[in-house]
Structure 1
Amino acid sequence: MPVFIFSLPRSGSTLLQRLLASHNQVSTASETWLLLPLLYSLRTQGIYTEYWQKTSVLALNDFMERLPNGKADYQEAMRQLALQLYTKASDDGASYFLDKTPRYHLISDEVCELFPDAKLIFLWRNPLSVIASIMQSFADGKWNLYYYNIDLFTGLENIIHTYENYRSSSLSVHFEALIKSPEEELKRINEYLELEDHSHMDLSSSQLSGKMGDPTGTKLYSQVSAEPLGKWKEVICNRLRRRWCRKYLERIGRDRWLAIGYDMDDMIAELNAVPMSSRFLVSDVVRITYGTLLPFLSPRSLKEKAALLPDFNKIYPSY
């Protein structure tokens, strides 16, 4: 049976994954990304291809009309494919395959619909810590949030919506509680997954293979540590970053934060109490300006097409 962890990047999902993977009844891979192309096969937006995605979806819809149960048959085929691959990737005797792919937040509703019997774990972390960790882990403290707007906005809204729809059949875990009281939190997870004793679980026995996953935490910490809790204050260090964070908290909204266990007023008060400096300020202005233009530049696709310039006839429009 699959277990899914839904979270934003830098929310502690790799830590939770490693803890769970140390149990002999849980198998996993660093990150699979398996369901994203499968479920995006029916989306006309958010995917750009040489074969023209919108035409592909039109053709698939025509094809599904010939199936006895229409779209339901297509979804069942996707489900069986994923289950077969999860089974092949699992160790002997495992009861669960844990699929931890942060950008499943883009398809969280569809994943839950596709696997109605799956176990669902929603992992939350203080958004100020998430923001700071994204900058620190992927850009050495420099501003890079324009690459992660899809996570911070659309992704968060999606998983909150999914959590509210599946609250009764899922488990909510907070990163802060996990690292402050790991035994207590693991006991709750134990009960939810109906696993045997977890008292032997530790990080040293569950080193994940593969290129995906947390590039920093697995190297810095060999055991559960509360050290990351206050680190965000070192990164959100100037007034521009503080203003952006305050606007972000307000845009998501007080009700949504409360729904997942965080008080917006408390977070803003804590944010306002952090001493400010001019560190990174000039760099932030330049990078924020670049980030504003980035959606219209599509540098990655332009780079790929530029590499084909010697053979101009191989450069195609993407739809």
Structure 2
Amino acid sequence: MIDPKGNNLIFLLCTPRSGSSLATVMLQNHSKVFATQEMWFLMSLYDLQAAPHRPYGGAGIIKQFFNGVLPSETYEQACRAFALQVYNGLVHSSGAEMVVDKSPRYYYMLEFLDTLFPQSRRIWLVRNPLSVIASYKKVNKHVNDRFSLKEDLLNPQFNIKMTDITVGLFRYINYFSTDSPYAYRLSYENMVTNPKEEMQKLCEFLGLTYEEGLEKYGDYMDTSKAGLYYSMGVGDPFVGQHTEPHLESIHSWKEVLDKQEVEMYCRVLGAKVFHDLGYSEQLAEAEKWTGVRFDMKANMELIHSRTKQLVDATGCRWEDNYRIKADVKENAILLQADSDEIQNAIQPQVLQLQITVRALENRLEKSYANQKRVTDQLDALKNKINRIKSFIPFGNHLSQWASAYLINGGRKK
């Protein structure tokens, strides 16, 4: 059972193509765990505030409601209640006790995730960045989808895949840079090299007793949970070709990528990322192969540009360098120590003030928009008047000539 703080809820977080499908197909074999392919639905809840275009209209009205009328606390409580209904529905239908939500693009709303479920378990699946883009290239070719690092990595146009491997990676690096009792770092390379040992350690973090053979997912192919997993058709299409983890993809980047792709991506990420993630050896191989010594610093101009593109496209609200709270449990205890009586006394006043503030902010925004529209109209009229005035000298001469012509009866002087 998932409680309102997120206990028994597990988020598997990583950039796409980091091996989350493999981790999930092993985790779901545990009798107390429900895990399937990507859910993504928390992003839909988060995006309600953005009020995207709908065929029936009213985007402005809906946005006004979520951002001007509905208090943020009420909105968060409603989202939490909906999510709990979904997660616990999965628990009841599967007979499990825990739910794994494997959604790589949750880097999009880490703040929202922490607000809803501060005591959820968060697994950070880390993989060699060069292997990640190699997997992107390989899988997208297999499914006839476009992935061109050479054309798109430095292209100023928005591209979600390029955002994944730049902004998404840095968001996760920042997020997990602080120790937390609710965070666990799982290495993809360790997971495929020593799957049983890694599953044992992961179960311990989740508060589960390891069940023999979890990592041999081929033995569970005929179960209902496995049937649901494979029927969704999302994730790595090659997982089903094996029955347990293998080492083939650890070094595949050397075969899948060419020198230009390796050099471009390493220049963007910078050497420090590889060192911090534990891939110094792989970076050394890349430098030897390309003949380039990569700078420590990342191309932050590109990272900031990609971040701005995503923010502009979605309206998301991020905190700079956002990190997981160091000890959410301790903070929760301190908050609980506050008097319920004081909370009940001030809450209605606070909510009313928040509604008033949002209403005033929206009025100011509308006022500014109207002011800008009127200013643009005035500028257009002034330009039109100036164009008309430019003909006035000619108009005066024409008027004088016409008057003289009529007075003299059409005779020339």
- TM-score, L = length of structure 1: 0.75
Cα displacement string for residues 120-165 of structure 1 (whole angstroms, at most 9, x for unaligned residues): 1010100000011100111259853434111011111211222124
Alpha-carbon shift at residue 262 of structure 1 (Å)? 3.3
Instruction: Count residues in correspondence.
Output: 265
Instruction: Report the equivalent of 2:392.
Output: none
SS in 1 for 2:217: coil
In 2, Cα distance between equivalents of 1:246 and 1:191: 35
Alpha-carbon shift at residue 29 of structure 1 (Å)? 2.5
Answer yes or no: is 1:139 the counterpart of 2:141.
Answer: yes
Identify if the C-alpha distance between structure 1 residues 112 and 97 changes in structure 2 by more than 3 Å, giving closer, same or farther. same
Alpha-carbon shift at residue 55 of structure 1 (Å)? 6.0
Tell me if the contact between 1:36 and 1:104 (Cα under 8 Å) persists in the aligned partners: yes
Q: Which amino acid aligns with 1:242?
A: V
Answer yes or no: is 1:240 the counterpart of 2:247.
Answer: no
Instruction: Report the equivalent of 2:39.
Output: 32
Q: Which amino acid aligns with 1:184?
A: E
Instruction: Report the equivalent of 1:8.
Output: 15
Alpha-carbon shift at residue 103 of structure 1 (Å)? 1.1
Alpha-carbon shift at residue 80 of structure 1 (Å)? 1.3
Residue segments in structure 1 that go unaligned for 5+ positions in a row: 65-69, 277-294, 296-319
Instruction: Report the equivalent of 1:173.
Output: 186
In 2, Cα distance between equivalents of 1:125 and 1:56: 40
Instruction: Report the equivalent of 1:126.
Output: 128
Cα displacement string for residues 189-232 of structure 1 (whole angstroms, at most 9, x for unaligned residues): 11111112222313121621443422422232221111110111
Higher relative contact order (CA 8 A, sep 6+): 1
Matched-pair identity in %: 25
Answer yes or no: is 1:59 the counterpart of 2:61.
Answer: no
Query: Where does 1:257-268 land on structure 2 (aligned, <5 Å)?
Result: 257-263=274-280, 266-268=281-283
Answer yes or no: is 1:193 the counterpart of 2:216.
Answer: no
Cα displacement string for residues 94-138 of structure 1 (whole angstroms, at most 9, x for unaligned residues): 111111011112112321221112111010100000011100111
> What root-mean-square deviation, in Å, do the aligned CA atoms of Structure 1 and Structure 2 show?
2.7
Alpha-carbon shift at residue 275 of structure 1 (Å)? 8.0
Answer yes or no: is 1:115 the counterpart of 2:146.
Answer: no
2:49 to 42, 46, 49: 42
Question: Greater Rg, structure 1 or structure 2?
Answer: 2
Instruction: Report the equivalent of 1:298.
Output: none
Tell me if the contact between 1:30 and 1:210 (Cα under 8 Å) persists in the aligned partners: no
In 1, Cα distance between equivalents of 2:237 and 2:253: 15
Instruction: Report the equivalent of 2:74.
Output: 73
Identify if the C-alpha distance between structure 1 residues 82 and 210 changes in structure 2 by more than 3 Å, giving closer, same or farther. farther
Alpha-carbon shift at residue 49 of structure 1 (Å)? 5.6
SS in 2 for 1:228: coil
Instruction: Report the equivalent of 2:238.
Output: 217
In 1, Cα distance between equivalents of 2:254 and 2:58: 45
Tell me if the contact between 1:233 and 1:274 (Cα under 8 Å) persists in the aligned partners: no
Residue segments in structure 2 that go unaligned for 5+ positions in a row: 1-7, 153-158, 292-308, 310-413
SS in 2 for 1:229: coil
Q: Which amino acid aligns with 1:271?
A: A
Instruction: Report the equivalent of 2:287.
Output: 272
Instruction: Report the equivalent of 1:84.
Output: 85
1:154 to 167, 170, 175: 167
Instruction: Report the equivalent of 1:301.
Output: none
Alpha-carbon shift at residue 58 of structure 1 (Å)? 3.3
Tell me if the contact between 2:131 and 2:252 (Cα under 8 Å) persists in the aligned partners: yes
Instruction: Report the equivalent of 2:104.
Output: 102
In 1, Cα distance between equivalents of 2:60 and 2:171: 23
In 1, Cα distance between equivalents of 2:61 and 2:278: 43
Identify if the C-alpha distance between structure 1 residues 88 and 174 changes in structure 2 by more than 3 Å, giving closer, same or farther. same
